[in-house]
Structure 1
Amino acid sequence: MSLLTNDAKGVYVISVTPFHDNGDVDFDSLDRVTDFYLEKGATGITVLGMMGEAPKLTQAEAREIVARVISRAGKTPVVAGVSAPGLAAISELSKAVMDRGAAGVMIAPPGSLRTDEQITTYYSQACAAAGDGVPVVLQDFPLSTGVQISVPLMGRIIEENDQIVMLKHEDWPGLAKISALRDAESKGRRRISILCGNGGVFLPEEMARGADGAMTGFGYPEMMADVVALADAGDMDRAQDIFDAYLPLVRYEQQPGLGLAVRKYALVKRGAIASAALRKPGAGLAPAAIAEVERLIERQTKRLKEIG
């Protein structure tokens, strides 16, 4: 499998981690959902992300999940989240996943970082911990991590760490950050790939600002693949029409603490995984929420037929 580069583009779907109802990892469903993502247009797959319930996994489970997805994905690049409070854990998991054939690793900053100097030092150390030459995705998700990385600071981190080849952009509001990063590149700074998260809720605007695609999850990943492809081809009106058809469900998935349950429910409904179970702590959808999701899916299907 080839390594991740700074010109990566498309849709790297954040994979769910399927569980049996008893909490054990469901590896048969992991195979099935990997196939599902590829069939729906994924350019790459990202495992062990925040929406993959990575903090709930043991190190042994994490390594086995990465190995299984890499084996199933074939030549499709697989990125593994290796974020951890300590550098030793990052080093251990990075070596394990890269030895298995991962295309790169994703690292979010720990919430303990406060100053610009602490953040830049951390990323220099984290890149070294990941291993010499290992491609790194910097996950910028301040709503979750509490770590604010300004545009000038992001530029400094990029300039000082050649291993960082991609930004997983999840700042919110953050469209101006994409524009500023691309503007700096037009003036000579090293280019990196920008793939965006936040469930794709701002995907058309992010593509218009210069993003290369998406690295996030949704129960209907073909929406992201279509929007990215159409935007890349310059057909923003068609991209917006398709996005708008899915937007109510995208919005519903954005509920903190509930979004993953919604996503897993949709994946079960579509036959991609066997159970919508979340590993504890975590709960599924109440009957009222299920009824709301079903209504949104019904209206989504109707709207897609209307736009053709």
Structure 2
Amino acid sequence: MTTQREAEMVTTTELGAERPTDASLLVRGVSPVLEVPFTADGDVDYHGFDRVVRYVLGTGVTSAMFPGFASEFHKLSEDERRRLTEILLSHTRDRPDVAAVVAVQDHATQLAARRARESVEAGADLINLLPPHFLSPSRGSLEQHVRAVLTAIDPVPMVLQYAPTETGTSLDADLLRLIATDHPNLRLVKVESSPPGPLIAELAQGTPALAAVEGYAGVQLPDAVRRGAVGTQPGCSLTEVYVEIWQRLTTGDGEAGVDLHRRLLPYISYWMLDTERIIAAEKLISVRRGLFASPYCREPAHRLDAEEVRMVDRLLAEFADFLPHLG
């Protein structure tokens, strides 16, 4: 059901295309998290990242996120992160049909608010906020942190990322609705709990209703869609497959979507047993597809064994109809 927020007017830009007044409406369907290619020596491959951005935006998605866990954000220097973000924004800031979701993961509230403001000033359409989690901050500290960043970027919309497996952070629908009541620019929650469906449904049914996107590589995507998810944020090496699954699940061919997801599930459920494992697998997929040259992951990292490499090749053979070579 369309909410009042989603019924907002659209504006006509100088480029002649329609753009929602609320950029969060572009974070619908598949919203990939961009990976960062490195050279075989471990340096950032900026040209390769530019190709990643071009590829993702060429699949028909209306938003992309950077940097996330799939981007190895915790292994980037400030200068590298800044340069990579600028590459993304150079492709999105003048386009009315796509939105750049720029992520903020700083533990200190002051630094998070500053990075969020600077990202908006640079051209970010939305901010994705990962709440602080080092040394188990209190519930009150988490709430204060989220509110401070929302205030710093108001009225720019925020996606609040809830990833309890990776962070140990505990949030609930009541707290999120309380924050959204005071800060209406909290537009979306990225739900990566396991399973995500119950929280997605609870957020959608409350007052104010909060839209949710599902993460965690789309392992629970069909259930998330049934419970009201408006999008999914997987890694980006298989974007075309996720787009096809999403279209089938949401356009009256749901069983065909479930069938396609069922084919993908043995791969992503295995890789998602370890975040570093799926990062390594997705990078090898991108290399096999000709997107960039090296599957290198900065240490500490997961090194795919021979059977895991064969698993990647089996996936590429099985989904060849959806995953053309990009070289």
Same fold (TM over 0.5): yes
Match of 2:294 among 272, 275, 278: 275
Percent identity, please: 25
CA shift, 1:54, in A, is: 0.9
Match of 2:234 among 216, 221, 236: 216
Match of 1:108 among 125, 130, 143: 130
Q: TM-score by structure 2 length?
A: 0.84
Aligned pair 1:165/2:187, yes or no?
Answer: yes
1:217 to 1:258, Cα distance in 2 relative to 1, 3 A: same
CA shift, 1:218, in A, is: 4.8
Counterpart Cα distance in 1 of 2:55 and 2:42: 22
Counterpart Cα distance in 1 of 2:322 and 2:243: 18
Aligned pair 1:11/2:30, yes or no?
Answer: yes
CA shift, 1:222, in A, is: 1.3
Aligned pair 1:64/2:86, yes or no?
Answer: no
1:252 to 1:293, Cα distance in 2 relative to 1, 3 A: farther
Give the partner amino acid of 1:91.
A
Q: What SS does the corresponding residue of 1:14 show, helix, strand or coil?
A: coil
Contact 1:261 1:284 in 2 (8 A): yes
CA shift, 1:176, in A, is: 1.0
Aligned pair 1:156/2:178, yes or no?
Answer: yes
1:283 to 1:147, Cα distance in 2 relative to 1, 3 A: closer
Indicate the residue corresponding to 1:118 in structure 2: 141
CA shift, 1:243, in A, is: 1.4
Q: Structure 2 stretches of 5 or more lacking a match?
A: 1-18
Indicate the residue corresponding to 1:229 in structure 2: 247
1:141 to 1:242, Cα distance in 2 relative to 1, 3 A: same
CA shift, 1:246, in A, is: 1.9
CA-to-aligned-CA distance 1:15-45 (integer Å, 9 cap, x gap)? 0011111121111111111122123332211
Contact 1:48 1:80 in 2 (8 A): yes
CA-to-aligned-CA distance 1:285-305 (integer Å, 9 cap, x gap)? 23332123223433444999x
Counterpart Cα distance in 1 of 2:50 and 2:321: 30
Indicate the residue corresponding to 1:84 in structure 2: 106
Give the partner amino acid of 1:79.
V
Match of 2:118 among 96, 101, 107: 96
1:105 to 1:302, Cα distance in 2 relative to 1, 3 A: closer
Give the partner amino acid of 1:10.
G
CA shift, 1:179, in A, is: 1.2
Q: What SS does the corresponding residue of 2:32 show, helix, strand or coil?
A: strand
1:173 to 1:126, Cα distance in 2 relative to 1, 3 A: same
Q: TM-score by structure 1 length?
A: 0.89
Contact 1:41 1:221 in 2 (8 A): no
CA shift, 1:107, in A, is: 0.8
Say what the alpha-carbon RMSD is for the aligned residues. 2.3
Counterpart Cα distance in 2 of 1:46 and 1:161: 22
CA shift, 1:215, in A, is: 1.5
Contact 2:189 2:213 in 1 (8 A): yes
Bigger mean CA offset, 110-119 vs 152-161 = 110-119
Q: Structure 1 stretches of 5 or more lacking a match?
A: none
Greater RCO structure (CA 8 Å; 6+ sep): 1
Contact 2:26 2:62 in 1 (8 A): no
Indicate the residue corresponding to 1:47 in structure 2: 66
Contact 1:113 1:119 in 2 (8 A): no
CA shift, 1:202, in A, is: 0.8
Counterpart Cα distance in 2 of 1:274 and 1:4: 34
CA shift, 1:227, in A, is: 2.0
Give the partner amino acid of 2:149.
A
Indicate the residue corresponding to 2:47 in structure 1: 28
Counterpart Cα distance in 1 of 2:178 and 2:154: 20
CA-to-aligned-CA distance 1:45-82 (integer Å, 9 cap, x gap)? 10111111111112221111111012134522111111
Give the partner amino acid of 2:154.
D
Contact 2:29 2:232 in 1 (8 A): yes
Counterpart Cα distance in 1 of 2:219 and 2:289: 21
Give the partner amino acid of 1:233.
T
Give the partner amino acid of 1:174.
P
